[in-house]
Amino acid sequence: MNLKSLALFILLPLLTKAQAYKLWYQKPAEKWTDALPIGNGRLGAMVFGGVKKDRIQFNEETLWTGEPRNYNHPDAARYLGKIRQLLQEGKQKEAEQLAESKFMGTKSNEGKREEWFAEVRQLKGFSGNPAAENFDDSAWKTIKVPTYEGWETVGFEGLDGALWFRTTFDLPENWKGKNLILDLNRVRDQDFTYINGKLIGNTNNTDVRKYVIPAGLLKVGKNSIAIQVINYFDKGGIAGYKDTTRHIGIYPANENGEQRISLVKDWKYFIQNDEPPAVGKYQADYQPFGDLFLDFKGLQNFANYKRELSLSEAVVRTIYTSKGIQFTREYFASEPDQTIVIHLSASQLKSISFEASFSSPHKKYVVRQLDKHTLSLSVAVRNGVLKGESNLLIQAKNGKISIENNKISVENADEVNLYLVAATNFIYYKNTSGNPVAICQQRLANIQKSKLTTSQNFAKIKQKHLKEYQRYYNTFSIDFGKDKYENLPTDERIQQFQHHSDPSFAALYVQYSRYLLISSSRLGTHPANLQGIWNDLLTPPWGSKYTTNINAEMNYWPAEVLNLSPMHESLFKMIEELAKNGKETAKTHYDARGWLVHHNTDIWRGTAPINASNHGIWVSGGGWLSQHLWEHYLFTQDKNFLKNKAYPIMKGAAEFFVDFLVKDPKTGWLISTPANSPENGGLVAGPTMDHQIIRNLFKNCIEASKVLHLDEKFRDTLLTKYKQIAPNQIGKYGQLQEWLEDKDDTTNKHRHVSHLWGVHPGNDITWEESPEMMKAARQSLIYRGDEGTGWSLAWKINFWARFKDGNHAMKMVKMLIRPASGAGGSYVNLFDAHPPFQIDGNFGGSAGIAEMLLQSHTKYIDIFPALPSDLQEGSVKGIKARGGFELDFTWKNGKLTKLKILSKAGERCYLRYGSKEIDFQTTKGKVYTFNGELE
C-alpha cells in the first residue's frame, strides 16, 4: 500500500463514523427470504439462524450452467434489411416471425428427446402399468396436489422428467350415467390422463385441461385417476389454480362446476425417469452450490432469541439462552481469507455440541471425509461443464471432534470455528480448466498454518475481515434522526413503514443497499447479477442472469453517489468482456463495426438476441453500459481510466450505432430499427429510449474525445449524426412519446417506463434545457401509475426525484419497503420483491433516496432538489457528486445548516441550493465549508 492509500485508509474511519444500523428479528428464518445474507463478492450465504437446526445455504459466483460457445446466429445480417422493410411497411407480425426464425441467437445443444419420450411412454423399467385401474401404488409416496408454482416448491428442487400421479374419487349414485368434466386447470408441461385405465386426455403445453370423462368409463363408488406428467425443464407438476379457493376437481358436464368433487389433496406419486434430455437454452443459469446444516441435537427449550445483521461489521449473529447458558453464533464472509466463517461460543465451558453436514440441490453430489476435521462437498451442474468443490474445516477449543457417515460431530467444546471454502473450475468466460480441489486445499492451508489458538485465529481472521470491509463501508454515513420505531424488529418495521413516518428506517435501507453491493461485488469478482450472489434454486427466476435492459445497470446506480466506486470495477470488467464478444455479434447480426449486447447476458458473456423477437432484439445494452464508464469518470475525474479503459469501449459502442442507424423515409430522422422498447409493444422501428441512449452515448464520446484531445474526425462524425437522431416528441395526450408514432395508450400500466430513460439515469431531458419535455415525461409517468414490481417502484423513486417532487418520491419509497406481495415491496430480510426476489430494487431504491438529497447530472450540484417532508432533519457524510466532489451536510427543519465540500480533482464547482447559486474554482484536496446560506 503506498503512502497516499495508507493515509486515506487511516482517515476514512475518522471522516465517517459508521452508525450501528442493524436488521434484527426475534425468531429464526422460516423461508429463504427471511434469512440474512453475507458475502465477500465471490462467496455468498443465507443464514437462517435456526436454534435446533441451522441452515447456511451458500453460493459461489462462478457456478453456472452452460459452457463457452458461439451464441450468434450465422448469416443473421442477411435478413436485417427485410426485417426493417417489413417494419417500415407496418407488418410487425411478419417482421417478428422472420426475426424469430432467422435473427435470434442460437441455443445450446438439445438432447435426444424423441428416444427418451418413447421410452417413458413405453414404461421402460416399470413393473406393471401405473395407468391401470387396479395398479398397486401402496409403496408410492404422497405429494400435495396441486403445486401451482411447480413441484419444486414442495421439496423437488431441480426435478425434471416423467412422474406418475395417482388418486381415486367416489362417484355418487346421482351422477351415474352422466358425462363428467375433469378440471385440472394447468399441468406443467405435458400430461397423459387416465380414468380407470383409459386415456381421456393428452395436452403438450400449459393450456387449461378440462377433459370429458365419458359416462361409460365410470362406476358408482371408487374410480381411479392416473396421470403421467412429463416436464423437461423448470417447473413441473399439476399446477391447478393460482387462486387457491378454486379447486381442481370433477363435476357433471352440463353444470357450471360449482358443485364438484375436489381433488385438492394428497396424491400418490412415483418418479419414473428424472434424466430427461437437455433442453436448448439461449443463455445459462446461475446455480446454488449447497447447504451446510448444523444440528444441535441435545438442545431443548430456549429463550431470549435474537438474530441480527450488523451492517457496520458485515456480521450476522444468532443469540439465545438455554438452561441458563447464553449461546452466540457469528457468521461472516471474509474477503482476505476467502472463506465463510462461523464462530460458536457459550457463556459456560463445555457447552457446545452439534453435528455438521453438507447437502446440495445438485443431483449426484458427493460428500466425503478429507481428514479428522474436514469434509468436502463435490458438485457438478446438469447440462454444463462447470463443477465445484467445497471444504468445511472445524477447529474446536477443547471438546471432541469426530467424523462418522460423512458428518462432523463436535462434543462438549468451549468454542468452535467453522471455515467454509468453495471454488469451481471456471477461470474466465472462455476457459474452464481450473482446479477447484487445489484452490480449496490452498485456502484451508492458509488458515491452518497459523499457530494461534482457536480463539486467537478467529479474532485475527475477523479483524482482517472488518478492516477490509470497513474501508468501503465507512466512506459514507447517513442519519435521518431518531424515531419511535427504531426499537422494533425489522419485520415489524416493514409492516408499519408505508403508513407511518420512520425516517431512520429509510437511512438503514440505504446502508443495507451499500452492504449488499459490497457483499456481492468486490474487486476482482463478477458483477452482482439479478440476485446479487444469493440464489437457492437450480432454475432461478430469469436465470438469475444479467438483464441489461435495466436490471444489471440499476445494480450499480448507487456505486458512485454512495461512495462505492471500487465496487463498480466488477461491472467494468464484464463490460470489457462483452465488448469483445459483442464485436462478433455486431458483425454477424448487423454487418456493423463496434460492439453491442442485447437485453441479457450470462457468465459466458452472450451478446446475441435471445428468447423472442418481440422483446429480445433490444440493441442498446452496450450504449447503456457505456454510460456507467462515463459516469465513473464524471464522479472521479480519472483521466487515465477514461483514456485507457472507458473511452475505447465507449467508442466501440458508438461505432456500432454509427453503422446501425438508418434514415426513416417518413421523417428523414436517423432511427434505431429493428428494436424494442424494453418488453413492451413488440418489435418496432424507432423507440424513444434507444434514441435517448444513443444521443447520450454520442454526446459522452464527443466530450471524452475533447478531454483526451484525440479522434477529432470521429468526433465530427458523431456530432453530425447526433443532430439527425429522431428527437423526443410530445404526443396528443401531453405525454412523452414512447414510440416514433404517437400511439401511446394512457391506460397502459406496464412496469417498464423505458422512454423516460432520458430523465433518469440519462440527462437527455432536464428542467434547465427542456422544461416542456420534462413536463411531458412527468405526464407519461402519471399515466403509467405508481404501482409496479419492485425494481419498477425503485426507478419511479428516481424519476420523481428528478421531477423535484420529494413527497411523491417518498411515497414510492414507502411502497418499495412495504410487505412483499404481487405488487412488489420487500421481503422480511429487506430483499426487494419483484416478486420473486430481485436485488435491483434494493440498489435502485437507495440511489433514489440519494437523488432526493443531491443531484449533479446538470451543470450544478443541487442540494435538496427533492427533500420530502418526512426527512426534515439529518446528516450525510461522504456523498459524491460529479466533478470529483465529496460532500458532508446537515439540515434541520428542512433547511440546510452546514455544508462541507472536498474537491478531489480541483474542478470548478457550481453549487445550487433553492434559488441560491454560486460557483468557485477549487483546489485539489481542499475542503470548502459553507453555512445554510451557502456563505
Domain positions in the chain? 18-63+288-469, 113-273, 475-501+786-935, 545-785
Number of H helices, E strands in the chain: 20, 43
Strand ranges inside 242-336, DSSP E: 249-252, 261-262, 265-273, 290-295, 303-310, 315-322, 325-334
**Residue 6: predicted pLDDT:** 39
Of residues 218, 232, 179, 182, the one with CA closest to residue 202 = 182
Angle at which helices 840-853 and 806-816 pack, to 10 degrees? 160
**Residue 299 banded pLDDT, cuts 50, 70, 90:** confident
For 786, counting Cβ atoms within 10 Å of its Cβ (0-12 exposed, 13-18 middle, 19+ buried), the class is middle
> Coil, strand, or helix at residue 164?
strand
Q: How far apart are CA 409 and CA 393, in angstroms?
A: 12
Contact 152, 357 (CB under 8 A): no
Distances (CA, A) of 623 to 26, 307, 548: 46, 43, 10
Q: How far apart are CA 49 and CA 407, in angstroms?
A: 20
Mean pLDDT of 194-222: 96
pLDDT digits (tens, 9 = 90+) for 760-775: 999 999 999 999 999 9
**Residue 4 banded pLDDT, cuts 50, 70, 90:** very low
Asked if pLDDT for residue 669 goes beyond 80, the answer is yes
pLDDT digits (tens, 9 = 90+) for 416-435: 999 999 999 999 999 999 99
**Residue 428: predicted pLDDT:** 96
pLDDT digits (tens, 9 = 90+) for 549-563: 999 999 999 999 999
Q: How far apart are CA 83 and CA 700, in angstroms?
A: 30
CATH assignment, 18-63+288-469: 2.70.98.50
Cell of residue 157, nine digits: 428442487
pLDDT digits (tens, 9 = 90+) for 152-197: 989 898 899 999 999 999 999 999 999 999 999 999 999 999 999 9
Q: How far apart are CA 817 and CA 503, in angstroms?
A: 12
Angle at which helices 568-590 and 647-660 pack, to 10 degrees? 30
Q: How far apart are CA 649 and CA 642, in angstroms?
A: 10
pLDDT digits (tens, 9 = 90+) for 604-648: 999 999 999 999 999 999 999 999 999 999 999 999 999 999 999
Residue bearing the bigger pLDDT, 572 or 148: 572
Share of the chain above pLDDT 90, in %: 92
Cell of residue 7, nine digits: 493515509
Q: How far apart are CA 95 and CA 82, in angstroms?
A: 8
Helix (H), strand (E) at residue 879: strand 874-881
> Coil, strand, or helix at residue 910?
strand
Q: How far apart are CA 410 and CA 353, in angstroms?
A: 5
Q: How far apart are CA 838 and CA 921, in angstroms?
A: 43
Q: How far apart are CA 122 and CA 120, in angstroms?
A: 5
* DSSP string across 388-434: EEEEEEEEEESSEEEEETTEEEEEEESEEEEEEEEEES--BTTB---
> Coil, strand, or helix at residue 877?
strand
**Cis geometry, peptide bond prior to residue 761 (ω within 30 degrees of 0):** yes
| The amino acid at 227 | I
Q: How far apart are CA 932 and CA 381, in angstroms?
A: 59
Q: Which CATH entry fits the domain spanning 545-785: 1.50.10.10, 3.10.20.90, 3.40.50.1820, 1.20.140.10?
A: 1.50.10.10
Contact 51, 60 (CB under 8 A): no
Residues 6+ apart with CB under 8 A from 935: none
0.75 cut: is pTM over it?
Answer: yes
Of residues 678, 694, 685, 691, the one with CA closest to residue 664 = 685
For residue 919, the 8-state DSSP code is E
**Residue 13 banded pLDDT, cuts 50, 70, 90:** very low
Q: How far apart are CA 426 and CA 423, in angstroms?
A: 8
| Burial per residue of 802-822, b for 16 or more beta-carbon CB atoms within 10 angstroms, e otherwise | bbbbbebbbbbbbbbbbebee
SS (H, E, C) 589-656: HHCCCCCCCCCEECCCCCCCCCCCCCCCCCCCHHHHHHHHHHHHHHHHCCHHHHHHHHHHHHHHHHHH
| Residues paired with residue 144 on neighbouring β-strands, in sequence order | 266
Of residues 513, 508, 502, the one with CA closest to residue 791 = 513
End-to-end CA, the chain: 38
**Residue 16 banded pLDDT, cuts 50, 70, 90:** very low
Cell of residue 782, nine digits: 402519471
Q: How far apart are CA 553 and CA 843, in angstroms?
A: 10
Superfamily of domain 113-273: Galactose-binding domain-like (2.60.120.260)
Helix (H), strand (E) at residue 718: helix 712-724
Contact 361, 538 (CB under 8 A): yes
| The amino acid at 842 | N
Share of the chain above pLDDT 70, in %: 98
**Residue 452: predicted pLDDT:** 84
**Residue 297 banded pLDDT, cuts 50, 70, 90:** confident
Q: How far apart are CA 261 and CA 252, in angstroms?
A: 10
Contact 688, 739 (CB under 8 A): yes
**Residue 5: predicted pLDDT:** 39
Half-sphere exposure of 53 (CA within 13 A, CB side): 7
Mean pLDDT of 829-853: 97
What is the chain's alpha carbon radius of gyration, rounded to the nearest angstrom?
Answer: 30
pLDDT digits (tens, 9 = 90+) for 336-352: 999 999 999 999 999 99
Give me the phi and psi of 823, to 5 degrees please. -110, 35
- The number of angstroms, rounded, from the C-alpha of 434 to the middle of its chain's C-alpha atoms is 26
**Residue 258 banded pLDDT, cuts 50, 70, 90:** confident
In CATH terms, the fold of domain 475-501+786-935 is: Immunoglobulin-like (2.60.40)
Cell of residue 458, nine digits: 478467529
Residues 6+ apart with CB under 8 A from 383: 65, 66, 108, 278, 279
Asked if pLDDT for residue 15 goes beyond 60, the answer is no
| The amino acid at 564 | L
> Coil, strand, or helix at residue 25?
strand
For 309, counting Cβ atoms within 10 Å of its Cβ (0-12 exposed, 13-18 middle, 19+ buried), the class is buried
Q: How far apart are CA 415 and CA 349, in angstroms?
A: 8
3-state helix vs strand vs coil in the chain, percent to 5: 30, 30, 40
Cell of residue 873, nine digits: 432533519
Cell of residue 514, nine digits: 451499500
**Residue 397: predicted pLDDT:** 96
pLDDT digits (tens, 9 = 90+) for 860-871: 999 999 999 999
Residue bearing the bigger pLDDT, 4 or 581: 581
Mean pLDDT of the chain: 95
The sign of the CA dihedral 26, 30, 34, 40 is positive
**Residue 134: predicted pLDDT:** 93
